[in-house]
Amino acid sequence: MSVTEQLATFVTNSRTTDIPPQIYAEAKRAIINYMGCAIGGANEPALDNALDVLLPFTGKATSHVLGRSETCDPLYASLFNGIGSHVHEYDDTIPKNYIHPSIPVASALFAYASANQGSDQAVTGEEFLQAFILGFDIESRIGNAVYPSHYEAGWHITSTTGVFGAAAAIGKLLKLDTKQMVWAFGLAATQAAGIREMFGSMAKSFQPGRAAQNGYTAALLAKNNFTAGEKALEGPRGFATITATEYDLDKAVDQLGEHYELLDNAYKPYACGLVVHPTIDACSQIREMHNIDPATVERIDLRVAPLVLDLCNHKDLKRALQSKYSIYHAAAIGLARGKGGLREFTDEAVADPVLSDLRSRTNAVADESITDDQADVTLTLKSGESIHFFLEASLGNMDRPLSNAQLDDKFIDQATLVLPQAQVDALLAATWEISSCEDVGSIVDLAVHKGD
Amino acid sequence: MSVTEQLATFVTNSRTTDIPPQIYAEAKRAIINYMGCAIGGANEPALDNALDVLLPFTGKATSHVLGRSETCDPLYASLFNGIGSHVHEYDDTIPKNYIHPSIPVASALFAYASANQGSDQAVTGEEFLQAFILGFDIESRIGNAVYPSHYEAGWHITSTTGVFGAAAAIGKLLKLDTKQMVWAFGLAATQAAGIREMFGSMAKSFQPGRAAQNGYTAALLAKNNFTAGEKALEGPRGFATITATEYDLDKAVDQLGEHYELLDNAYKPYACGLVVHPTIDACSQIREMHNIDPATVERIDLRVAPLVLDLCNHKDLKRALQSKYSIYHAAAIGLARGKGGLREFTDEAVADPVLSDLRSRTNAVADESITDDQADVTLTLKSGESIHFFLEASLGNMDRPLSNAQLDDKFIDQATLVLPQAQVDALLAATWEISSCEDVGSIVDLAVHKGD
């Protein structure tokens, strides 16, 4: 069998009982992280703008958009969910292939579940999680095959592989047979797009959203026997050879059905550039261990990896965006607030006199002996007392995954920007209980903004 | 200015009077050819299938689909028009870059014109032609920059560049400013997709249709200041570097506004593989010059380029598709019918005893002295008389373009498969008169299938 056929067969033949409980547990964590991001990004200008333009073109409004009051058809809901959940770039990442995996797959699945709520095609939590796990797996496996040359060339690997993941997930719910799944992958390959040249603009979050929408469309067409080339991945003019100067399709099927890619997923603890994460983490730990009052701080001395100062040597902050790439702000929020959520990188946070004072007291030097994943902090108090802390490995890495409680905090921190606390609590609880949910459309109901 | 900015500026600044009359005349010929293909393909299974799946997701049904009775929103109409007009692969081609240029641009424009019929945004024929000329130009110029390496790698260049053409054309009608046009090109680059691995399946005609739909969407978003990266073409992770191992962006702006790419367009005279065109042409000319009765033919002897026998050495035909790649069928239809329209490649044509008899009397030998564009035919009649004809250059080439009368014949031959003769005549006349049309939506009205 070709690689395309092997992956299609894997998805169509998979039974819910084939997947170990550990994978379902990790899938729930990914869904919690996804849902928090989707709600947290729901009021961002990129999503407002896309809704403004495209809602007039939506079909029958059967699907809610996460964190919004608008409804639309599930294809557009997939797009809008994708924009909102990716816009803060606070979503999950697979460190080995740089894919933000949950966006394209979960965005399509929640749209599908909402559109089919209360119908014969209503999606149970078990079906949802299975489709999510399989879509995630397909997407990441295809990424493994073409990474790194595909990514380094400039492809936005989250959208180019995400369209396959969304097609697999929706295709599983639509009960495609294997031939149809092969066509769905062909129709995904037909639409695989998204380039890193768009980073820094609204088009960036559009890309994984469009991947969700296009993968969903691919599955619908395949279900109706709309034919496509049957060698989407390995063909001489297929996805791998066209988009990667070097690739290894064996990686796409390595330990297929034995190893699940969800085990390689990581959740971002802080809503900012990765290189300042160790400093936030170290300062947060000092704060917690020593119960620091910011008013007692005389100075903060950082030793950081040279890359950190190359990218983040901004002390005099003018705009919110700059705070995401300031090593001084990182130290300040860690010490004063013990976290780095969305609220720590706003204009208000930049103007906060406590944070401003701490930034001015922070000094940073580059040290080649410090890795990108480490930080060395020496805190000097006005009393003369000195506290030293060396962080060996940063929170959110594969070796130090966020705990479920930390995922809860991250969820609440984001979702309360958009939804009332009581609704946030109910949504969080319902999302953790997704395994036993009889109709996932009911979870989407809890994610709807009810208006002011 | 960057190449992206130069192209955007060219489109936004272009006045109708900047474009020479010769270009408008050629644009009309391209539109005639396009419209005939769109009607001729309107009843094909690929389009039936896509309509079946996607019509339930359409928004407000303001736009007619060419050659159909269905209505939908103009974004989906762009897709459907694109599938129908490309499905027979009988559309136009730019020989220097292999783009089928009219499909993505005209499919979006007719959808836009239909949706805005009778409104303040109604499109006049002059505006329509200008937008078509500019979209065509942008698409082909981007193709020039990345051809041949882009095409040889396996990209379906019609869809990958077509999305830029559709964005430019719709963006012109939406009166984007230059910054917005740059964003529209970014949003086009974000969605540029389509691979040759899909050739031979329904996904093939889906690709340029999706390019029309996505380019239209890009223009709508840009009009609302949905931002995108501003170096869509020349950026280090932009379209050219990612999709072509070798490219020359100077070609995209060479003689910009002086040379129009429409002058490099060609129209396919026969609805079959290009390599058998010279034989159809030669036999058609013999038929016309000598008023041949097929019953009088003893044998036909062909000398053809070696490639022809490599690809088209099929005498015993079982299916309609095979007839498109049979040098024997090519000789038969030329001699018996003097043409190679859609009706010459059906199951009925394959079974026609006159054609079957002529195929059996045809012999072909490869001759390296014959080019792909030539054919040498010796016809022996039962009377013993012998007629020899050597075709130097085949009809439809840049040097032997189809006349307007031949475009009419091609149009009528296709359109009468789907629409009544009187409607075909009215549509043909109205399309030729597009320059003076006050609302191009009225031309689309004439292209609507009224039901049985």
CB contact under 8 A, B53 and A223: yes
CA distance A41 to chain B (A): 16
Alpha-carbon gap: A230 to the closest alpha carbon of chain B (Å) = 8
The Cα A174–Cα A180 span in angstroms is 10
Query: Does residue B188 belong to any structural domain of this protein?
Result: yes
Neighbour-count burial of B425, counting CB atoms closer than 10 A to its CB (0-12 exposed, 13-18 middle, 19+ buried): middle
Tokens at A145, concatenated: 């095959």
Using a CB-CB distance cutoff of 8 angstroms, which residues of chain A are in contact with residue B217? Answer: 54
Query: Which distant-in-sequence residues (6+ apart) come within 8 Å of A327 by Cβ?
Result: A276, A279, A302, A304, A308, A309, A312, A313, A314, A362, A364
Q: Are residues B130 and B8 in the same domain?
A: yes
* Nearest C-alpha in A relative to B199: A229
Cβ contact A153–B242 (<8 Å): yes
Domain shared by B147 and B198, yes or no: yes
Q: Contact A226/B53, CB-based, under 8 Å? A: yes
Residues of A in contact with B154 (CB under 8 A): 236-238, 241-242
Taking CB atoms and an 8 Å cutoff, what residues of chain A touch B199? Answer: 229
Contacts of A416 (CB under 8 A, 6+ apart): A424
In the three-class reduction of DSSP (H, G, I as helix; E, B as strand; rest coil), residue B63 is classed as: strand
Q: Determine, yes or no, domain membership for A239.
A: yes
Nearest alpha-carbon partner for A276 in A300, A301, A311? A311
Other C-beta atoms lying within 10 Å of the C-beta of residue B336: 23
- Determine the distance in angstroms separating the CA of B153 from the nearest CA of chain A, rounded to an integer: 6
pTM of the predicted protein model:
0.96
According to the model, what pLDDT value does residue A344 have? 96
Contacts of A73 in chain B (CB under 8 A): 57
Count up the domains in chain A and report the number.
2
Q: How far is B330 from chain A (nearest CA, A)?
A: 28
* Structure-token pair, residue A193: 């797009």
Query: Which residues of chain B have a CB within 8 Å of the CB of A98?
Result: none
Ordered DSSP codes for A240-276: HHHH-SS--THHHHTTBTTB-GGGG-B--SSSS-GGG
**Quick one: A322 and A296 in the same domain?**
yes
Report whether A19 contacts A262 (CB < 8 A). Answer: no
Spatial contact of B43 and B417, defined as CB atoms under 8 Å apart: yes
Is the per-residue pLDDT at A451 higher than 80?
Answer: no
Indicate yes or no: CB of B194 within 8 angstroms of CB of A198: no
Quote the pLDDT of residue A443. Answer: 98
Overall residue count recorded for chain B in this entry:
452
| Angstroms from A47 CA to nearest CA on chain B | 9
Residue from B47, B112, B197 to probe the interface with A (highest A Cβ count within 10 Å):
B197
Predicted pLDDT of residue A273: 85
- Residue carrying structure tokens 């009225």: B442
Q: Which of A56, A186, A207 sits opposite B198 (nearest CB)?
A: A186
Instruction: Reduce the DSSP state of residue A298 to 3 states and report it.
Output: strand
**Around Cβ A296, how many Cβ atoms within 10 Å?**
11
- Is the model's pLDDT at A397 over the cut of 90? no
Residue A128, in any domain of the structure = yes
Residues A247 and A329 in one domain: no
Residue B452 has a pLDDT of 58
Which of B55, B226, B231, B249 to mutate to probe the A interface, most A CBs <10 Å? B226
- Chain A residues with CB under 8 Å of B87 CB are none
B376 CA to centre of own chain: 28
Query: What is the model's pLDDT at position A452?
Result: 59
User: E strands, B256-383, where?
Assistant: 297-304, 362-366, 375-381
Q: Convert the pLDDT of each residue in A278-331 to its tens digit.
A: 999 999 999 999 999 999 999 999 999 999 998 899 998 988 888 998 999 999
Q: Do A236 and B202 touch (CB under 8 A)?
A: no
DSSP states of B366-429: E-TTS-TT-EEEEEEETTS-EEEEEESS-TTSTTSPPPHHHHHHHHHHHHTTTS-HHHHHHHHH
Q: What is the CATH number of the domain that holds B289?
A: 3.30.1330.120
Please report residues of B whose CB lies closer than 8 A to that of A60: 56-57
Classify each residue of A187-220 as buried b or exposed e, where b means 16 or more C-beta atoms within 10 Å of its C-beta: bbbbbbbbbbbbeebbbbbbbbbbbbbbbbbbbb
Please check whether residues A76 and A187 belong to one and the same domain: yes
Find the closest chain B residue to A153 by CA distance. B242
Tokens (6 digits) for A276: 């300042």
Say whether both A32 and A174 belong to one domain: yes
Interface predicted TM-score of the whole assembly (ipTM), two decimals: 0.95
- Does some domain include residue B397? no
Domain shared by B21 and B114, yes or no: yes
In a shared domain, residues A70 and A208: yes
Q: Do B197 and A49 touch (CB under 8 A)?
A: no
A54 found inside a domain = yes
Q: For residues A146 and A240, give the distance between their C-alpha atoms in angstroms, rounded to a whole number.
A: 6
B231 with A201: Cβ contact below 8 A: no
For residue A129, give its domain range.
3-269+402-446
Q: Which of B3, B57, B78 has the most A C-beta neighbours within 10 Å, making it the best mutation to test the interface with A?
A: B57
Identify whether residues A32 and A145 lie together within a single domain. yes
B310: helix, coil or strand? Answer: helix
- Looking at beta carbons, which residues of chain B come within 8 Å of A48? none
The partner residue sitting opposite B227, judged by closest CB among A201, A232, A236, is A201
- Would you say residue A397 lies in a domain? no
Same domain, residue pair B26 and B91: yes
The CA distance from A99 to B187, in Å, is 21
Cis peptide leading into A148, omega within 30 of 0?
yes
d(CA A388, CA A101): 37
Contact residues on chain B for A184, CB-CB shorter than 8 A: none
Find the radius of gyration of the CA atoms of chain A.
Answer: 22
DSSP state of A122: P
Cβ <8 Å between B206 and A196: no
Extract the tokens encoding A386: 């000195």
- Per the listing, tokens 């539109």 go with B31
Structure tokens at B231: 């170096």
Instruction: Identify the segments of chain B with pLDDT beneath 50.
Output: none
* B451: in domain: no
Q: Beta strand pairing status for A362-366 and B375-381?
A: unpaired
Which band of pLDDT confidence, cut at 50, 70 and 90, is reported for residue A399? confident
**Residues in chain B within 8 Å Cβ distance of A228:** 198, 201-203
Structural Rg of chain B based on CA atoms: 22
Residue A40's pLDDT band, with cuts at 50, 70 and 90, is very high
Q: Do B224 and A53 count as a contact with CB atoms less than 8 A apart? A: yes
Residue burial A408-437, b: 16+ Cβ < 10 Å; e: rest: bbbbbbbbbbbbeeebbbebbebbbebeeb
Does residue A160 form part of some domain? yes
CATH number of the domain that B79 lies in? 1.10.4100.10
State the nearest Cα–Cα gap between B202 and chain A, in angstroms: 5
CA pair distance A185, A231, nearest whole angstrom: 9
The tens digit of pLDDT for each residue in A131-174 reads 999 999 999 999 999 999 999 999 999 999 999 999 999 999 99
Strand order in the sheet with A362-366: A362-366, A297-304, A375-381, A386-391
Q: Are residues A295 and A228 in the same domain?
A: no
Q: Contact, A302 vs A376, CB < 8 A?
A: yes
CB burial of B166-179 (b: ≥16 within 10 Å; e: otherwise) equals bbbbbbbbbebeee
- Cβ distance B203 to A225 less than 8 Å, yes or no, reads no
- Interface residue of A47, A70, A158, A190 to substitute, partner B, most B CBs within 10 Å: A190
pLDDT digits (tens, 9 = 90+) for A102-133: 999 999 999 999 999 999 999 999 999 999 99
DSSP of B103-148, one letter per residue? HHHHHHHHHHHHHTTTSTTPPPHHHHHHHHHHHHHHHHHHHHHHTT
The partner residue sitting opposite A242, judged by closest CB among B46, B49, B154, is: B154
Instruction: Name the packing angle between helices A202-223 and A157-173 (round to 10°).
Output: 30
Answer yes or no: do A43 and A133 share one domain: yes
Query: Which residue of A50, A220, A237 is in closest CB contact with B221?
Result: A50
**Mean pLDDT value of segment A201-205:** 95
